[in-house]
Amino acid sequence: MSVRVEVLLDDAERRAALHEATLRGLEDIPKQIPAIWLYDERGSRLFDEITRLPEYYLTRAERGILEERAPEIALETRAETLVELGSGTSEKTRLLLDALAVQGTLIRFVPLDVSEEVLVASAHAIAEEYPGLEVDAVVGDFERHLTALPKGGRRLFAFLGSTLGGLQVEHRESFLRAVTTSLEADDTLLLGLDLVKDTARIEAAYTDSAGLSERFQRNGLANLDRELGSDFSQGRFEHYAEWDADREWVDIGFRSLVAQVVQVTGLGIQVAFADGEVLRTSISAKFRRDRFDAELTAAGLELARWWTDSNIDFAVCVAVPSDGYLPM
């Protein structure tokens, strides 16, 4: 097997950055914590269960599009290197790897993720499944280390799972600009986007009847308590997931049931919550084609292809660098 691992973000640096982001978030209005707190080992298992629920249409819709369109994506991009941003276990990426292998262009796979343990395991699994494929795994942050990714040949950058929707507008803008700066002339970007639809269906995906979504979110608070010595009393916070029609995203987190003060020993702070005040744990933005096309244009990209499932719930699109774009 040909597997190389480059570490651009070690555990100490990752932890320090997370603590700093948490401190800033708890001092912000509204108060918020980075969504990464949700994804410890137990949280990742819970989220995997959520993706299989009837209410959670996103994963099924995206996978269905990729199953149908992966050969077209391979033909359109003729990618020699597949770069997966925020790779995780690389499940849906296998559909792209298979299509590119059949196309006959695939040479290398570059998964990027902040979790070295998960990344190394998935990199070796991919290498075993695809003999002769070069696997260059990179431990890093997709918002900071794009320019450090291996270059050469036509590259397809895949950012799937509606992960883009987890970024607030200003972060989304900076991420897309960073991608533009990183792309070379023959490179392409593949994105998965959840689309605006009926409010009840959107909210149901985050407030499922089995209660898994709430357990997933509460596990994030328990993880925060364990890592930072905080004392979030779970009985004093109620879970919420509400559609914000103005911002067109689902606002997800907790609402304080009483006025209270939470100690966060690991950060050396006390955090006061008013009765009814929220603590945001994540957002999930939904997209419209025309507005997202404008976002791509502002970032120096242009929409090349757009596919949806039959219900028009989800889209997978290809973007390419705009001709004549000059980075700011």
What is the chain's mean pLDDT, rounded?
A: 93
Read off the pLDDT of each residue in 241-249 and give the average, rounded to a whole number: 97
Please list, in sequence order, all residues whose beta carbon lies within 8 angstroms of the beta carbon of residue 209, skipping any fewer than 6 positions away. Answer: 55
Give the pLDDT of residue 9.
Answer: 83
What is the rounded distance in angstroms from the CA atom of residue 255 to the CA atom of residue 253? Answer: 7
Amino acid at 16: A
Helix (H, G, I), strand (E, B) or coil at 34: coil
pLDDT digits (tens, 9 = 90+) for 53-84: 999 999 999 999 999 999 999 999 999 999 99
What is the rounded distance in angstroms from the CA atom of residue 141 to the CA atom of residue 148? Answer: 11
Read off the pLDDT of each residue in 308-324 and give the average, rounded to a whole number: 92
Read off the pLDDT of each residue in 44-48 and give the average, rounded to a whole number: 89
Helix (H, G, I), strand (E, B) or coil at 32: strand
* Residue pair 36/223 in contact by the 8 Å Cβ criterion: no
State the fold for domain 54-197+287-321: Rossmann fold (3.40.50)
pLDDT at 326 over 50: no
pLDDT at 325 over 70: no
* Residue pair 192/312 in contact by the 8 Å Cβ criterion: no
What is the rounded distance in angstroms from the CA atom of residue 148 to the CA atom of residue 258? Answer: 47
Q: How far from the centroid of its chain's Cα atoms is residue 280's Cα?
A: 17
Element housing 103 (H / E): helix 93-103
pLDDT digits (tens, 9 = 90+) for 154-205: 999 999 999 999 999 999 999 999 999 999 989 999 999 999 999 999 999 9
Give the pLDDT of residue 86.
Answer: 83
Q: Where in the chain is the domain with CATH 3.40.50.150?
A: 54-197+287-321
Q: For the chain, percent helix, then strand, then coil, each to nearest 5?
A: 40, 25, 30
